Amino acid sequence: MTTSTTKIRPDLAICEHCDSVHQRLPLERGEAADCHVCGATLYRRPMLDLDAMLALTVAALIVFVVANAAPLVTMESGGNTTRGWLLSLVATTWTSGVGAVSAILIGTVFLFPLAQILLYFYVLQACRLKQQASRFVDAMHWLRRLRPWSMVQVFLIGTLVSIIKMSHLASVKPEPGLWAFGVLTILLTALGTFELRELWALHEEAANT
Amino acid sequence: MSEPTGRIVRGIEHGLVGCEACGLVLERPAHGSDCPRCGTPVHARRPESLARSWAFLVAAMILYVPANLLPVLHSTKLFESWSDTILSGVVALWEDGAYDLAIIVFTASIVVPLLKMGALALLLLEVQRGGRQLPRERALLYRILEYIGHWSMLDVFAVALLVTLVHFGALASVEPGSGIVAFGAVVVLTMLATMSFDPRLNWDTPRRRVTSLPAAPAVKPDTAKDPLSP
Ligand SMILES: [Zn+2]
Ligand SMILES: [Zn+2]
């Protein structure tokens, strides 16, 4: 009661949404513990193990390359064919005077998702090999900060809406790049279910053995 | 879960703090100390949470005006040229009979940002006046705000594609208008405002209300947790 040194309580979990204290209990694979006060998820045990998650990051990287290399859409109008890639969207918005939109595009749909995939690979690999990775802490902080700003799924729906909008003006066709963005959305969502907090604990275990 | 769970143990009342970054629970951390696991400064509550949140929110509200009044698209077709705002774009879709699209764009671009700003203002005001009504509902509202925040960027992406494909057309051309920049800024600012808010403040009210919640009505059968025994 009178001690002033900081003690760590790995047996407890505190809800980040309502500050209620819970006893941490072991979970089965795929289970989540919800806060009984506010209903937020306290912690969960992921469905997939580290090897499967690592395979997902590699798949996500490959799909990311395809999604950016292949065109998203083609438009035929008056004998001209125009193709749109993500990076050509970045370029046209830049040259047509809305640099901020260009910056949002390259950040939220290109750089942040790519960084997320690479950082996930790095931290998962560190946990799997039970190594003390020197940049683990930095990588984890960046993963947490980037998460809300990675908007591949919003881009996908925005593109679909735009295609349907234009379809009565000209013949617009979805291309492989768009499907790749669909797959990338699914892979990134699956990666997102892996709680960063579990990775902290896993890495700590690895460092202590 | 037969154990009665009416008694809610809150970290702040027991000197327990959960690290915001990594979730580690610390007992009586020294003032201004860092989390031993991840190095983040430990706070019982995010410092200046309300002031920051208000600053981003007010900036978003101000920019919401040009975002809706300025054109998002300038179109030229042969000798005709016109400008579209977000709202006039929705109206045009509706008149073309594309009701589903009109509803999607209207929801993502107009309803969601308005509801977000209104709901966040409500949360901030309620915390400031020490309101103790419906903490569970306010907590849910905050989680919804967090979840839907980035979906309003949809129209920004849609405009970017439209501009790219029609840009070089011989007969028609489309240029983005400055409204879309203001709109993108509104989305970013509301996201920042939501992130700055500390949802634990929703529950920081006199205890009589909080402790009188009914015994764990929302416990799912498959969830495993118990409150710390007092
Ligand atoms: Zn909670
Ligand atoms: Zn920490």
In DSSP notation, A18-43 reads T-BEEE-----TT-EEEPTTT--EEE
Into how many domains does chain A fold?
2
Q: What whole-number distance in Å separates Cα of residue B218 and Cα of residue A36?
A: 6
Same domain for A59 and A23?
A: no
Q: Are B163 and B197 in contact (CB under 8 A)?
A: no
Query: According to the model, what pLDDT value does residue B170 have?
Result: 57
Query: According to the model, what pLDDT value does residue B6 have?
Result: 58
Same domain for A80 and A35?
A: no
Angle at A36 between CA A35 and CA A41, to 5 degrees: 25
Of A10, A40, A137, the CB nearest to B39: A137
In DSSP notation, B5-71 reads --SPPBGGGTTEEE-TTT--EEESPPTTPBPTTT-PBP-SS-TTHHHHHHHHHHHHHHHHHHHHHS-
Same domain for A198 and A162?
A: yes
Q: What whole-number distance in Å separates Cα of residue B114 and Cα of residue A118?
A: 36
Query: According to the model, what pLDDT value does residue B57 have?
Result: 97
Q: Are A173 and A73 in contact (CB under 8 A)?
A: yes
Test A89 with B164 for CB contact under 8 angstroms: yes
Alpha carbon B211 to its chain's center:
28
Q: What whole-number distance in Å separates Cα of residue A191 and Cα of residue A56?
A: 7
Same domain for A94 and A153?
A: yes
Residue of A nearest to B98 (CA): A165
Q: Are B227 and B8 in contact (CB under 8 A)?
A: yes
Query: According to the model, what pLDDT value does residue B212 have?
Result: 32
How close is the nearest chain B Cα to the Cα of A202, in Å?
Answer: 12
How close is the nearest chain A Cα to the Cα of B90, in Å?
Answer: 11
Instruction: Give the 3-state secondary structure of residue B219.
Output: coil
Measured in Å, residue B142 CA sits from the centre of ligand 1 at 12
Which amino acid is it at B127? V
Which tokens go with B153?
A: 């960027």
Same domain for A151 and A104?
A: yes
Give A 93-122 residues with CB within 8 A of chain B: 93, 96-98, 100-101, 104-105, 108-109
Same domain for A80 and A16?
A: no
Measured in Å, residue B213 CA sits from the centre of ligand 1 at 13
Test B159 with A27 for CB contact under 8 angstroms: no
Instruction: Give the 3-state secondary structure of residue B122.
Output: helix
Query: What would the pLDDT profile of A82-97 be if each residue is shown by its tens digit?
Result: 888 999 999 999 998 8
Q: What whole-number distance in Å separates Cα of residue B95 and Cα of residue B81?
A: 19
How close is the nearest chain B Cα to the Cα of A51, in Å?
Answer: 22
Predicted ipTM? 0.89
Q: What whole-number distance in Å separates Cα of residue A22 and Cα of residue A34?
A: 10
Query: According to the model, what pLDDT value does residue B207 have?
Result: 44
Q: Which of A2, A6, A80 to mutate to test the interface with B (most CBs of B within 10 A)?
A: A6
Chain A contacts of B104, Cβ < 8 Å? Answer: 161
Q: Ligand 2 (ion): which residues have CB within 5 A?
A: B 19, 21-22, 24, 35, 37-38, 40
Chain B contacts of A206, Cβ < 8 Å? Answer: none
A137 interfaces chain B, CB cutoff of 8 Å:
yes
Of A23, A96, A97, the CB nearest to B226: A23
Intra-chain end-to-end CA distance of chain A, in Å:
31
Same domain for A38 and A60?
A: no
Query: According to the model, what pLDDT value does residue B223 have?
Result: 40
The position carrying tokens 């990666």 is A191
Q: Are A101 and B159 in contact (CB under 8 A)?
A: yes
Chain B contacts of A30, Cβ < 8 Å? Answer: none
Query: What would the pLDDT profile of A2-44 be if each residue is shown by its tens digit?
Result: 444 678 888 899 998 889 999 988 888 888 899 988 888 888 8
Q: What whole-number distance in Å separates Cα of residue A53 and Cα of residue A69?
A: 24
Of B171, B222, B228, the CB nearest to A21: B228
Among residues B67, B181, B172, B183, which one has the least CA distance to residue A93?
B181
Measured in Å, residue A167 CA sits from the centre of ligand 1 at 46
Query: CB neighbours of B140 closer than 8 A, spacing ≥ 6?
Result: A38, A39
Q: What does the pLDDT profile of chain A (209 residues) look like in tens digits?
A: 444 467 888 889 999 888 999 998 888 888 889 998 888 888 888 888 889 999 999 999 999 999 999 999 988 877 778 888 999 999 999 998 889 999 999 999 999 999 999 999 999 998 888 777 778 999 999 999 999 999 999 999 999 988 887 887 778 889 999 999 999 999 999 888 888 888 888 887 777 76
Chain A contacts of B63, Cβ < 8 Å? Answer: none
In DSSP notation, A119-151 reads HHHHHHHHHHTT---TTHHHHHHHHHHHGGG--
Measured in Å, residue A4 CA sits from the centre of ligand 2 at 19
Test B93 with A93 for CB contact under 8 angstroms: no
The closest ligand to the CA of B21 turns out to be 2
Q: Are A131 and A206 in contact (CB under 8 A)?
A: yes
Same domain for A146 and A200?
A: yes
Total Cβ atoms within 10 A of residue A7? 12
Using the Cα atoms of residue B163, residue B164, residue B165 and residue B171 in order, give the sign of their dihedral.
positive
Query: According to the model, what pLDDT value does residue A201 have?
Result: 82
Domains in chain B: boundaries: 1-44, 48-204
What top-level class would CATH report for the domain B48-204? mainly alpha
Which tokens go with B19?
A: 């690290």
Residue ranges of chain B with per-residue pLDDT less than 70: 1-7, 167-172, 205-230
In DSSP notation, A45-100 reads --SS-HHHHHHHHHHHHHHHHHHHHS-SEEEEETTEEEEE-HHHHHHHHHHTT-HH
A6 interfaces chain B, CB cutoff of 8 Å:
yes
Query: What would the pLDDT profile of B120-140 be if each residue is shown by its tens digit?
Result: 999 999 888 877 778 888 889
Torsion of CA B118, B205, A144, B142, to 10 degrees: -30
Same domain for A92 and A20?
A: no
Query: According to the model, what pLDDT value does residue B220 have?
Result: 40
Show the domain range for A5: 1-45
Q: What whole-number distance in Å separates Cα of residue B153 and Cα of residue B185?
A: 10
Test A158 with B158 for CB contact under 8 angstroms: yes
Same domain for A81 and A167?
A: yes
